[in-house]
Structure 1
Amino acid sequence: MTDRIEISSIIRKRTLGLVFVLGAASLAFAQQKVNVSGKIVDKQNQPVPYASVSFNNKASKLNSDATLTDEKGDYKLDLMPGNYDIIIEAIDFKKSTLNRQITAAGNLGNFSVEAEAAVTNTKTQDIQGVVITAQAVKPYRVEIDKKVYDPSLDIVAKGGNLQDVLANVPSVDVDTDGTVSMRGNSNVRFLINGKPSSMLGIDDGANALQSIPADQIERIEVITNPSSKYEASGTAGILNIILKKSKKVGFNGSVEGTLGYLPNTRLNTNLSWRKGAWTYYINGGGGYNRNKSKNNSDFNSYLDPQTLNDGFSMRSIQNGISEGENKNYNVTTGFVVDVTDKSTLNASVMFRNFNNESTGQTDYFDNVIIKDRNATGYPNVPYTLQEQYTNRLNTGTNVNNSFQADLGFEQKIGDKGQLLSLATSYQKNKSDGTSLITENGYDNEFDIATNTINNIITNSINTTFLAKADYELPIGEASKLEAGARFDANKNDYDYYVDQSQNNGPVSVLPNFTSNTFYNENILAGYAQFKSKIENFGYQVGLRAENTNINVDFQRVIDAEKKNVEKNYLKFFPSVFLSYDLGKNNQLLLNYSRRINRPRSFFLIPFMSYNNNRNLFSGNPDLNPTYENSFELGYSLSKSKFSLNPTLYFKKSEDEVNMYQYSGLNEQGNTVLYTMPVNAGSETQYGLDLNATYDPFKWWKIMASADIFGYKSDGSYEDFDFSGDGFSSRFRLTNTFKPTKTTSFQIQGFYRGAQNTVSTQRKAMYAVNLGASQTIWKGNGTISFNIQDIFNTRSRESLVTTPSYSQYNYMQWQPRQFSVSLSYRFKQGDKVEQPKRKKDINNNASGDEDQVPM
């Protein structure tokens, strides 16, 4: 009951108030309008469906408006009386302009448009003004350099978050701990609306993904082999999350609320108001959820094998359960204005708060080897075995506040498609955490009980500045030159403090774990790429240059001087994309790109976290970036009921970063696993990524994806061998049924095959999810229900074996969950896109103003 009252208070204060304020504001702008209607026809008096009809008021742009004709060519809208220039645009028809004086409500009659005079029998390439919005027939589409996934048909993720949506995206895999990978590679670069975003917080972890509601996501671009126009980081590829930004006229919006178990409660709203040249929007909401994870391990450490009998080992059994409570809210507001017919200005600000309270309990059972016990009565035994029991309780809080401000400007130059785009972004994240660790131990040999208390205080500030410029120059009817420059400045400050008291003794600072770190990274990039098309053959070639400058200052309490890491390197990243149109919606795609994986700041410094004192991670100042060459050969077939998109891929990395692990004993004689990143050899991955859809009936849609791949690793470090090869697979199948016009349900399952290397054996995993939805309130509302992991099988099991230790690990991030969500949509107009730019000749038609790929 307390939780429900607290959740209700959060939502009422932070979200509902926002809805009512904007609703009241929209009424304040209401004026006395008249309803006008009409019909658009061709020269044969046949209706022209989905034509764009713009009414530009001669006296005031604020009174201008626009709409689309329906399938019968009819339109209607409310206008202020006045003199209007009426502009009519439709695919394969000439642009038409006329003038009318509107004084009262009524029908304006038929307006006629003339068909475009086609030079060839091909469809018109210059689509200058119309974007038709309807429910997507296919959940994803394939373009020359990316796949675009539409989550609107994803019933299983309704009422969920970004992590839930990503679990259903083709070529993407979400692990039990929230780690996102593409084709088995977790080095994924996340972008929000085409650029890094504070919405993801300081890191890209599961908590950040869970704070972005599914209801705010318009689409996800899966870029497995990015072109030179995109930043080069992320060897796995790029996931570009495009958030909703309504372009509908009048006041429009939606509200969605969710209730679920463990529990999971969320309320979100998306609101917009478009009047004349101005569009205002605001998206926001709040949420509360609990999570519960389980982590068990069995660790065997082999010490001094020449001295000890064969098979004699030290064993540590760990059983842990973690629970957490997360509260978050976010709000994004901004505007887009057409300054002139050829220039557009957009600005936005974003605020985000994430608050986490966690509790973790781990029970340890240790068989500890004690050496040289002569003084205590063991004259003939050089080693003795001692049993210890330890209970570790960790309670902590973390508060993250994020701010982001964006400003963009687009200027069309001339009438042949030249475009200059400028954008800048300022982002700041501040995270403060506290943790109290209480550890009670018992030694059965000496009948000694110990009590240790640790306090951990963490503070981190991340500041990012981004500035970029892009230029597009069409050349003739079939070519385009693109060029641009970008500057990224990232500054991270970390403070980490740990103290300790034992058996109610004095408090002392732990010098090995108390440190200050200052991390600065500046990246200056420039690119140029050319694309063209010769009959059925399309090509795009590009080259990107990135100069990276990194400076890290690290100081521990025990060090008299700071440790400094400096890295400066200039690298080039080419890309080639080829396409061949086979006709009848058949296309071949071949591409190549070179990518980079820069080490994270924590990977470059000898920093160690104390949250788990049995698993200690330390950075490596000598670590270098990983470079990868990636090749893809794809085929795209699209029919009315069937689509097939197989892709063969091959990736080869150099200076691969692997985790070197070794075991040891701490001061209490307990087992400790140390981990450090190292550059060790290379890695090759090859496989078939297959995505398909099939609609056997109007009421049944099937989406399937499979990734069947082989891998080979070469490399070693000290006594740890990273070499290995094998074959594995990932499968996902989604069935959507629509028994009536207003009812849908969906069942989705996935399977991930076992994957082995020389030292690691990872078992197979599968899960099944279920969702259902019902449209209500004359199509303006939807109620949805879903169950995640019906059979509670989503867990990870692995076994690591090395010459010095072996470890079995079981991990379940979340148990079975279910939720119910209710959404309501209110609107005053239809979606209309004003004339902007030409359609990309190579079908790379992503000309959205909210994308910033540089």
Structure 2
Amino acid sequence: MTTRRKKICPETVTQFVRHGRKTTRNLVVGVLITEAFCMSPIAYAQTPDKPAVPATPAKAATPVKPAEPKPEETNSKTGPVSKTDSKPVTSDAPASSSGEPQSVTVQAERPSNRIDRQVYDVKSDVASTNGTAADALNNIPSVSVDPDGTISLRGSTKVQILIDGKPSAMMQGDNRGASLNAMPSHDIESIEVINNPGAQFGNEGGGGPILNLVMRRNRQPGGFGVVNANAGSAGRYNSAASGSYHEGLFGIQGGVNFRHDGRNSVGEAVRDRLDLGQHSTQESASAGLNNSSGVNAAITYNIGTKDTLGANFSYARRNNDQKSTDHYLNIGQINSDYVRSTQRGGESTNYSWGGRYDRKGDINGEIMRLDLRVSGSDNTSSNAYSNVYSNVDASSPIIFTDVHSKQNNANNIKIVDFTGDYERPDEKGLLKMGYKIANNKSEFDTSYFNIDPISNTAILNPSRTNSYNLDEANIALYGSYQLRLNEKWGVLAGLRTEYTHIDIQQLTTRIEATNHYINYIPSFFASYKASDDTTLRFSYAHRIRRANANELNPFVVYRDELNYSSGNPKLKPAQTDSFELAYETRVIGLDMNIRGYYRTESDSILSRKIPINDTVVLTTLENGGGNHSSGVEFTLSGKLTPKLSINTSGNLLFIEQKILNTAGQEIQRSASSLSLRGRFNYQLSEQDQLQISLNSQGKTLSGEGYRQPNSTANFSLRHTITPSLNLVLNVTDIFNSNKIETIVDTDTLKEHNIRRYDGRLIYVGLSYRFGGNTAGGQGNNRQEMRRPPPPGQS
């Protein structure tokens, strides 16, 4: 980078770097310097929304005081890293021979830890070229993603997933797990962990802590692109390509991806009914690889120096073809030994489009944003069943030992989200306010048919046919103020008000219900800079968790011969209060974070298993009791040696839960668990990098039972063939240890479920980069990708 100057004031450079971090959140900005005096840091700024535009020189030499309060921040590659890792300010350059003011370029890395969240950069992960979003999330401290896509954070599954700060239909309900397993991790720039969300965040999709997937954005002038192609074991493969072009006031970027993948599994369940003295077993196996593909594009155009227009579009599609068998056996019951074969087929389509308008105000840091996002998810599936009975009793009503049926499912989700946000700094702080108008429509349709064994015609089974609609409207207002009290203290306080209106139509049973309520959601954050390397943080947030569409559906859904399920339209929102105290420092050159947290929830939405006859158990939901969780989370990351870097974390969790037993009596359960995670990168040579990831998930409470601990290990190797071409080897679940094991233990029911997946998978692939700066391979090009400021987030 070439830098020219006539004269540089250290004070101006210092203010400039602070200004750049606070207001524009850039990597590259500039200051005008004259021969006679040092000018304020307002000459020009290359924001994430527009290219650098020279500004008129300041009329006075008075330095501009940074407007936005500066919570002490840190930087990271694969985890939170302190400011000492930032690139130094560069000012060495030959003097200009002209008498005109010249510019000096100051470079610093974008901060990661902010007053209300932790930001983890996932670009430098060796496995990112062939991994999925679920793989990327599994590398984040205290985050766990099951093979079936279930996400938990600090032992809680009540987690919101946002994309660029916005809710998306593809991350709602049962669609979320499949979407995370189909989304390429290469498309993600960073993941924001927001344990205590502030006032700008709504309560969609869970209302608990938030995982915000920040998608990659390239802001370099000119063209840039990358192509990945990978082949895996058992016929798996995937590929992706992305690129961008920016010139003057115009920018465009986009990408395409394709994946042929899946997880085969085997499982078994043992159930004992204590009230009836019955014992039953279920053995299952499922197999099938599926295709998923996607395309996305975004365009930005700068209207002058203050106004920016943007538009985005994405489309993704995947199929769901699978074969499975289940063997059911109820000991001591007639006609209870049979094998159920299932042939599944279907597809899912996800789409989103949106527009955005940003306008900068007359003072530094003042900005107004309008953002419209529309997203939808259309899912269809068909299931063909065949039950083959053994040892049929001669006196039983079963005449045919081979019984056939089929089931068709269709569900559609559409979310319209319109937000407006305004930010205005003053001498000491930053005011933020905004609004949100959103509508979420969900439609579910299930048709079940029995196949007549003689005529082979399909006969509708009304007891297993279900049609259900939900319409949820939400209006929200929020405001917050971030204040810098002095050089050491910074605070942020906010309040959000939400009005929610829900209409439910159970068309099959002709049940209609309406509910509406107002919630007031406060939040508070504080930071204290004890030294250059040490920061203390405190946060508090009140949140609500609204039940989703499936949880509100009262219809009894047939799962299999032993299991039915239903929702509850009378569910109330669960109320959560969360507190956190964090200590961030450096130890022996490593970055260390320690966070203590406490979370309490009332009106918890809990699952209950209720026997409805001798063999079938109904799983439903109720508000009951509450739960309390507390724990200590730690992270330790950095370079141990010039060649070895580590990113380790752990979470010691204690959880106490109140549930209702079969008789409706409240009982209390508790559990302690320790989860550990480590990622170790070693530079074998100038061309070779080795990465080993270890993950151990502790025991967690789940519904009326608990989930047993689980551990996995992954291995990756990257070889740089040329500055533009890398060869990547990735092995997941090296020891075939990945499983989901749950145990239910109530006064009437004991159940043990275990499901194992096909475990060890091997991928080999190539990654080719073109345009821009390709030196050093992936992760070393600091300016390769940029993201815009979070859109709206309200």
TM range (shorter): 0.7 to 0.9
CA distance in 2, matches of 1:166, 1:316: 37
CA distance in 2, matches of 1:68, 1:546: 38
CA contact (8 A) 1:215 1:256 kept: no
Displacement of 1:697: 0.3
Q: CA 1:504–1:139 in 2, change beyond 3 Å: closer, same or farther?
A: farther
Corresponding residue for residue 620 of structure 1: 568
Give the partner amino acid of 2:707: R
Q: Deviation digits for residues 824-854 of structure 1, max 9, x if unmatched?
A: 11114799xxxxxxxxxxxxxx993353311
Corresponding residue for residue 294 of structure 1: 266
CA distance in 2, matches of 1:155, 1:609: 43
SS of 2:557's partner is coil
Displacement of 1:142: 2.3
Q: Deviation digits for residues 220-268 of structure 1, max 9, x if unmatched?
A: 1111111111113434311110111211111111111111124331111
CA distance in 2, matches of 1:533, 1:44: 27
Give the partner amino acid of 1:193: D
Displacement of 1:45: 13
Q: CA 1:529–1:798 in 2, change beyond 3 Å: closer, same or farther?
A: same
Matched, 1:542 2:486: no
CA distance in 2, matches of 1:95, 1:38: 19
Corresponding residue for residue 587 of structure 1: 535
| 1:625-704 to 2 correspondences below 5 Å | 625-638=573-586, 641-665=589-613, 671-704=615-648
CA contact (8 A) 1:450 1:502 kept: no
CA distance in 2, matches of 1:440, 1:641: 65
CA contact (8 A) 1:555 1:563 kept: yes
CA distance in 2, matches of 1:547, 1:655: 19
Matched, 1:388 2:336: yes
Corresponding residue for residue 277 of structure 1: 249
| 1:191-206 to 2 correspondences below 5 Å | 191-200=162-171, 203-206=174-177
CA distance in 1, matches of 2:671, 2:275: 30
CA contact (8 A) 2:580 2:595 kept: yes
Corresponding residue for residue 475 of structure 1: 426
Q: Deviation digits for residues 98-156 of structure 1, max 9, x if unmatched?
A: 9xxxxxxxxxxxxxx99x98979xxx8579xxxxxx99375664221111111122224
Q: Which sections of structure 1, spanning at least 5 residues, go unmatched?
A: 1-36, 53-65, 74-85, 99-112, 128-133, 305-312, 370-385, 832-845
CA distance in 1, matches of 2:32, 2:343: 64
SS of 1:567's partner is strand
Corresponding residue for residue 185 of structure 2: 214
CA distance in 2, matches of 1:762, 1:249: 50
SS of 1:820's partner is strand
CA distance in 2, matches of 1:88, 1:819: 53
CA contact (8 A) 2:119 2:190 kept: yes
| Deviates most, 446-455 or 747-756 | 446-455
Q: CA 1:618–1:219 in 2, change beyond 3 Å: closer, same or farther?
A: same
Give the partner amino acid of 1:284: V
Q: Quick one: which of 351, 363, 366 aligns to 1:418?
A: 366
Matched, 1:565 2:523: no
Corresponding residue for residue 848 of structure 1: 788
Give the partner amino acid of 1:773: R
SS of 2:550's partner is helix
SS of 2:262's partner is strand
Corresponding residue for residue 77 of structure 1: none
Corresponding residue for residue 662 of structure 2: 718
Displacement of 1:446: 3.4
CA distance in 2, matches of 1:690, 1:97: 41
Corresponding residue for residue 220 of structure 2: 248
Q: Deviation digits for residues 604-661 of structure 1, max 9, x if unmatched?
A: 1223333423211111122111110000011111479311111110000000111110
Corresponding residue for residue 177 of structure 1: 148
Q: Quick one: which of 261, 281, 288 aligns to 1:317?
A: 281
Corresponding residue for residue 439 of structure 2: 489
Give the partner amino acid of 2:140: V
SS of 1:322's partner is strand
CA distance in 2, matches of 1:203, 1:593: 27
SS of 2:179's partner is helix
Q: CA 1:603–1:496 in 2, change beyond 3 Å: closer, same or farther?
A: same
Displacement of 1:663: 2.5
Matched, 1:166 2:137: yes
Q: Deviation digits for residues 145-191 of structure 1, max 9, x if unmatched?
A: 11111112222444110011111111211124321111111111111
| Deviates most, 216-225 or 452-461 | 452-461
Corresponding residue for residue 80 of structure 1: none
SS of 2:558's partner is coil
Corresponding residue for residue 326 of structure 2: 362
Corresponding residue for residue 97 of structure 2: none
Corresponding residue for residue 309 of structure 1: none
Corresponding residue for residue 341 of structure 1: 305
Q: Deviation digits for residues 793-852 of structure 1, max 9, x if unmatched?
A: 111223222222211111124422121121111114799xxxxxxxxxxxxxx9933533
Give the partner amino acid of 1:298: V
CA distance in 1, matches of 2:518, 2:626: 21
Displacement of 1:340: 1.5
CA contact (8 A) 1:658 1:678 kept: yes
Matched, 1:259 2:227: no
CA contact (8 A) 2:551 2:567 kept: yes
- Tell me how many residue pairs correspond in the alignment: 715
Corresponding residue for residue 555 of structure 1: 507
CA distance in 2, matches of 1:613, 1:444: 16
CA distance in 1, matches of 2:170, 2:438: 17
Corresponding residue for residue 77 of structure 2: 136
Q: CA 1:614–1:552 in 2, change beyond 3 Å: closer, same or farther?
A: same
The structure with more radius of gyration: 1
Q: CA 1:153–1:118 in 2, change beyond 3 Å: closer, same or farther?
A: farther
Q: CA 1:143–1:463 in 2, change beyond 3 Å: closer, same or farther?
A: same
Corresponding residue for residue 691 of structure 2: 746
Q: CA 1:539–1:349 in 2, change beyond 3 Å: closer, same or farther?
A: same
Matched, 1:511 2:462: yes
Q: CA 1:758–1:282 in 2, change beyond 3 Å: closer, same or farther?
A: closer
SS of 1:512's partner is helix
CA contact (8 A) 1:425 1:467 kept: yes
Q: CA 1:336–1:723 in 2, change beyond 3 Å: closer, same or farther?
A: same
SS of 1:295's partner is strand
CA contact (8 A) 2:370 2:792 kept: no
Q: CA 1:805–1:247 in 2, change beyond 3 Å: closer, same or farther?
A: same
Matched, 1:574 2:522: yes
Q: CA 1:702–1:563 in 2, change beyond 3 Å: closer, same or farther?
A: same
CA distance in 1, matches of 2:567, 2:700: 27
CA distance in 2, matches of 1:231, 1:442: 54
Q: Quick one: which of 512, 530, 555 aligns to 2:481?
A: 530
CA distance in 1, matches of 2:648, 2:222: 39
Corresponding residue for residue 352 of structure 1: 316
Displacement of 1:43: 2.9
Displacement of 1:767: 1.3
CA distance in 2, matches of 1:757, 1:151: 29
CA contact (8 A) 1:263 1:290 kept: no
CA contact (8 A) 1:589 1:634 kept: yes
CA contact (8 A) 2:683 2:689 kept: yes
CA distance in 1, matches of 2:302, 2:377: 32
CA distance in 2, matches of 1:650, 1:515: 41
CA distance in 2, matches of 1:299, 1:503: 31
Q: CA 1:158–1:251 in 2, change beyond 3 Å: closer, same or farther?
A: closer
Matched, 1:150 2:102: no
Q: Give me the CA root mean square deviation.
A: 3.3
Corresponding residue for residue 456 of structure 1: 407
CA contact (8 A) 2:165 2:214 kept: yes
CA distance in 2, matches of 1:717, 1:283: 51
CA contact (8 A) 1:202 1:462 kept: no
Q: Which sections of structure 2, spanning at least 5 residues, go unmatched?
A: 17-25, 45-56, 69-74, 82-111, 776-785
Calculate percent identity across the aligned residue pairs: 22
CA distance in 1, matches of 2:561, 2:539: 46
